[in-house]
Amino acid sequence: MSSAVERFDDKARESFESAGQTTVYRGELLRHPVYTRVLHWTVALFFFLALFTGAIFTEAIFVADQNGANVRQLTTPVQQDQNPQWSPDGHTLIFFSARAGNADVWRLDLAPKSLRQLTSDPGLDINPFFSPDGAHIAFQSDRSGRLEVWVMNSDGSHQRQLSTIGVTGHFLRWSRGGENVLFRCPCGGKPQIYQISAKGGEPVPLNSEIAGGCHMSFSPGFSLLMDVVGHQTLWVSSVTGGKPLKVYEFPVMTNLQTHGWHMNACSVAPPMQCYAKEC
């Protein structure tokens, strides 16, 4: 405990004792019932004020040049517009948002600029990803009772369920040719990366040593998966087998959510040159 907190702790303890209240012993301020109730109500008040004023839970989508210049806003923040993904041709973005009152998948065409809602089921429809040819969108939905992998045409038609074993994490990935969708299954507390055919069928487990799976991204050659574990450490894993390789650990308090590969995979993670033929 810092000295500043200790001084505050001592003052609070003296105030309680002088008022004839229950004694607060050193280091126990955070466990005192009066202090705990005040803290909880303060946090609750802040939360409801922020929710009412729109100070939180509103996120817009922005785009910028690779060097960070020419930043421009694409969506108006009504609710959180989350997890935007580019179409292969770079003309369209898909994302999920509760801007219509429920978490659904939306499509933003940039030229001409138009915004369309692709899903409208009462369940959660989240984390959409374009297929490599841009013709289909994989997403997660709990409309059948729990989050599963679903797929639809890029215009929102022909929505159909693929998996039946559950899905977790924020990302789905398509195989290079678009035949399969990769996802992370919770599997009763033992998460495992699976792939399932976009036409349906039984899911197939991949390398059981793959690190993470919640934010996975393919290398340009599709032989490696990178993920961030604990929002702090980047790991690279082979899709087919072998132990993962720790690439980089960011400083404490880092909250890394997403990452990507350079077209030259070796420029992203030099340590993996002894690990994969892509380098």
* Within a domain: 88: yes
In a domain, 25, yes or no: yes
Ordered mean pLDDT values, 10 residues apiece, the chain (279 residues): 47 51 47 57 61 62 91 88 93 95 96 94 96 97 96 98 93 93 88 93 88 76 81 82 84 63 49 42
35 with 92, same domain?
no
If phi > 0 it is left, if psi is from -120 to 50 it is alpha, else beta; for residue 188 that is: left
pLDDT of residue 141: 97
Q: Angle CA(134)–CA(224)–CA(257) in degrees, nearest 5?
A: 70
191 and 100 in a common domain: yes
Strands 125-130 and 113-117 come out as unpaired
C-alpha–C-alpha distance, residues 44 and 51, integer Å: 11
pLDDT of residue 36: 56
Whether 29 contacts 13, CB under 8 Å:
yes
In the prediction, which pLDDT does 268 show?
45
CATH code at 263?
2.120.10.30
**Last residue of some domain: 35, 53, 71?**
53
**Separation CA 203–CA 219 (nearest Å):** 22
Q: What is the pLDDT of residue 270?
A: 40
Q: Give the residue among 109, 63, 119, 58 at the shortest CA–CA distance from 87.
A: 109
User: Is residue 204 included in any domain, yes or no?
Assistant: yes
Residue 31 lies in a domain: yes
Only one residue has tokens 């390398």, namely 207
Cβ neighbors of 60 (< 8 A, separation 6 or more) are 73, 74, 75, 76, 77, 81
Q: Are 136 and 260 contained in the same domain?
A: yes
pLDDT (0 to 100) of residue 47: 54
List the domain range (segments joined by +) for residue 130. Answer: 62-274
In contact, 204 and 196? CB cutoff 8 Å: yes
* Cα–Cα–Cα angle for 148, 150, 155, rounded to 5 degrees: 150
Q: Do 46 and 80 lie in a common domain?
A: no
Q: Is residue 122 part of a domain?
A: yes
Q: Are residues 10 and 121 in the same domain?
A: no
- Co-location of 71 and 48 in the same domain: no
Residue 142 in any domain: the answer is yes
Same domain, 25 and 130: no
Whether 218 and 102 map to the same domain: the answer is: yes
First vs last C-alpha separation in the chain: 48
130 and 35 share one domain: no
**CA nearest 239: which of 187, 180, 189, 199?**
180
Decide: residue 235, CB within 10 A, 0-12 exposed, 13-18 middle, 19+ buried.
Answer: buried
Question: Does any domain span residue 279?
Answer: no
Number of separate domains in the chain? 2
Residues 161 and 47 in one domain: no
Q: For residue 251, tell me if it sits in a domain.
A: yes
Same structural domain, 49 and 69: no
Does 139 share its domain with 93?
A: yes
